[in-house]
Amino acid sequence: MNSLYTGSDAGPPGSPQARPHRLRLLLPLFLTVVALLGGTAQVSLAGAGSRPNIILVVADTLRADHLGTYGYFRPTTPHLDHLATESVLFENAFTVMPHTLPAHLALFTSRYPREMGVLMNGQTYAGQFPTLAQHLQEAGYNTAAFVSSLAVKGKFGLDRGFDIYVDSTHHKPPGTVALTSFRDWLGSRQEQPFFAWIHLMEPHVPYAPPRDLANRFRSDAGLRAWVQRKGIAPAPTWGATIDKIVVTQRKTPARSTPFLNNLNLYDAETLSVDQVIGELMAALKARDLDQDSLIMILSDHGEGLGQHGYYFHGLYLYEEQLQIPLLIRLPGGRHAGRRIAEPVSLLDILPTVSSLLDLKPGDGLRGRNLLPLMAGKQAGEFNRRPLFAESREYPPRRALSPEHWTSVRRFSVRDGSWKLIRATSGEAELYDLAADQNELADLHEENPAVARRLGRVLDKWLAKIPKGEAAGTDNLTDEDRRRLKSLGYVGGQP
């Protein structure tokens, strides 16, 4: 046991019966120590005699800038917009790799994918670093996962620390199925506190929203203005590529989808996932679990949607790939409505939860505790922290979209308003995000000194975080490979 805990007597299945008694004996001593120190209780719940239930929602491929509360021009997210008023919203949150399994592992371990040796979907995490679920399970939490994507099936190593892991990846619509599983689980007799992770697949290709939402958004003047603002140039192959994915996935006849309508369908998917989140919040409220729980909603990565000539995710490291929405509703609605501009990372989730609960997750976490930032402190430190990312690894000659296939990998560093993207081929791009949020003007040639400085920062990071031994793909079946390919991923050996 890593720490002292207060509150519920519940332990994980099979835990020693003696543990609750030990906790009760230690509680008065712990409260006394906290009172004497007077410090940690300020941002920690451990001294308050309660351990909050924790609900983590990951909406796969959900772009931050397509949410109303992040300024999108369409009403795609009424429920998330409302939840933002009760939460702390991070305006600049980023993933470390725009690829599902590595991004989720980074979220759960606060480690970079490269050090885990997991740089592709289909690999199996060897478990070198304990996950958030493992920490919480050890702390006596009842842990449960409800996922809706093949990429995050438990067998790839994400099930570590979960008492229950429900893969509902063969069913449609995925979010509703995951929600139903979660509600059923919630409705059964549950030991508390619990940690529930709900993974929603909706905004990911295929863009196939429920029938009643499919025509909600049209290719209107607003969309055309958006496309122009983002510097999106229509490419005839995009519609065909997405159609190919839809056809492979659903075995339906090919249809020609104009590229603008793919944005409409993506937004309809976003509306769909927002509805699921609305139902999820209603389910929590019905059981009086909405106010005192810790609720975190984020994405694992973004989506190209035509920016920089690319529709999907994984290959490039532009903002549309890396930026994610992040809402944290603290127990009791603490700091509700606050919006944080400082750049943060999905690596910060584990340190934040650990701090809130006084867990001791060990040294070497790559993220930082966000609680001080949420309380209006340490802004300068977060602004000075460089953020790193890397692209996925491709096995040769296996990509679905040959026009984008490359064995080149990319690394990026964001430092203040500057961002450097460097490829293993030697090419580099430099952007001033303060002046050019959409990364349309490469300033690499004009600012060689800045590019060199960021290059050194990147080199230092690569030296500090060496690439771990590549994880195996033994758990990937032929059927998995076929289905991953149908989702736009390759299914081969790394």
Report the nearest approach of Zn ion to the CB of residue 296 (Å).
16
* Closest CB to Zn ion among residues 93, 260: 93
Q: Which segment (9-17, 54-62, 247-255, 479-487) binds Zn ion by CB under 5 A?
A: 54-62
The 98-117 contact track toward Zn ion, x by CB under 5 A, reads --x-----------------
Q: Which segment (9-17, 58-66, 235-243, 475-483) binds Zn ion by CB under 5 A?
A: 58-66
Q: What does residue 58 show for φ and ψ, rounded to 5 degrees? A: -115, 115
In 239-349, which ranges are E strands? 294-298, 323-324, 326-329, 339-340, 344-345
* Closest CB to Zn ion among residues 99, 114: 99
Residue nearest to Zn ion (CB): 100
Report the nearest approach of Zn ion to the CB of residue 410 (Å).
17
* Closest CB to Zn ion among residues 150, 223: 150
Angle at 298 between CA 169 and CA 348, to 5 degrees: 120
H/E run at residue 21: helix 18-37
Q: Which segment (134-142, 188-196, 296-304, 454-462) binds Zn ion by CB under 5 A?
A: 296-304
| 133 vs 125: CA distance, rounded Å | 14
Q: Which segment (37-45, 178-186, 297-305, 412-420) binds Zn ion by CB under 5 A?
A: 297-305
| 423 vs 120: CA distance, rounded Å | 18
Contact 276, 200 (CB under 8 A): yes
Instruction: Tell me the three state secondary structure of residue 359.
Output: coil
* Closest CB to Zn ion among residues 199, 409: 199
Report the nearest approach of Zn ion to the CB of residue 102 (Å).
9
Q: Which two tokens stand for residue 94?
A: 């980023």
According to CB under 5 A, which one of 6, 45, 58, 60 is a site residue for Zn ion? 60
Closest CA to 489 of 410, 421, 405, 422: 405
Q: Is the peptide bond before 102 cis (omega within 30 degrees of 0)?
A: no
* Closest CB to Zn ion among residues 46, 198: 198
| 128 vs 450: CA distance, rounded Å | 36
Q: Which segment (1-9, 295-303, 324-332, 448-456) binds Zn ion by CB under 5 A?
A: 295-303
| 153 vs 147: CA distance, rounded Å | 7
* Closest CB to Zn ion among residues 83, 150: 150
Report the nearest approach of Zn ion to the CB of residue 100 (Å).
3
Report the nearest approach of Zn ion to the CB of residue 47 (Å).
37
- Window 81-100: residues binding Zn ion (CB under 5 A): 100
Give the count of residues interacting with Zn ion (CB under 5 A).
Answer: 3
Report the nearest approach of Zn ion to the CB of residue 475 (Å).
18
Report the nearest approach of Zn ion to the CB of residue 119 (Å).
14
- Window 205-244: residues binding Zn ion (CB under 5 A): none
* Closest CB to Zn ion among residues 53, 100: 100
Using the rule CB under 5 A, is 300 a contact of Zn ion? yes
* Closest CB to Zn ion among residues 202, 300: 300
Q: What does residue 337 show for φ and ψ, rounded to 5 degrees? A: 85, -5
* Closest CB to Zn ion among residues 138, 274: 274
* Closest CB to Zn ion among residues 101, 177: 101
Using the rule CB under 5 A, is 348 a contact of Zn ion? no
Report the nearest approach of Zn ion to the CB of residue 487 (Å).
9
Report the nearest approach of Zn ion to the CB of residue 147 (Å).
11
Using the rule CB under 5 A, is 202 a contact of Zn ion? no
DSSP string, 88-132: EEESSEE-SSSSHHHHHHHHHHSS-HHHHT--STT-----SS--H
Closest CA to 371 of 34, 31, 88: 88
Burial category of 393 from C-beta neighbours within 10 Å (exposed 0-12, middle 13-18, buried 19 and up): buried
Helix axes 349-357, 100-109, angle to 10 degrees: 30
- Window 372-411: residues binding Zn ion (CB under 5 A): none
In 259-386, which ranges are E strands? 294-298, 323-324, 326-329, 339-340, 344-345
DSSP string, 415-459: ETTEEEEEETTS-EEEEETTT-TT--S--TTT-HHHHHHHHHHHH
Report the nearest approach of Zn ion to the CB of residue 279 (Å).
22
Report the nearest approach of Zn ion to the CB of residue 95 (Å).
9
H/E run at residue 145: strand 142-147
Residues binding Zn ion (CB under 5 A):
60, 100, 300
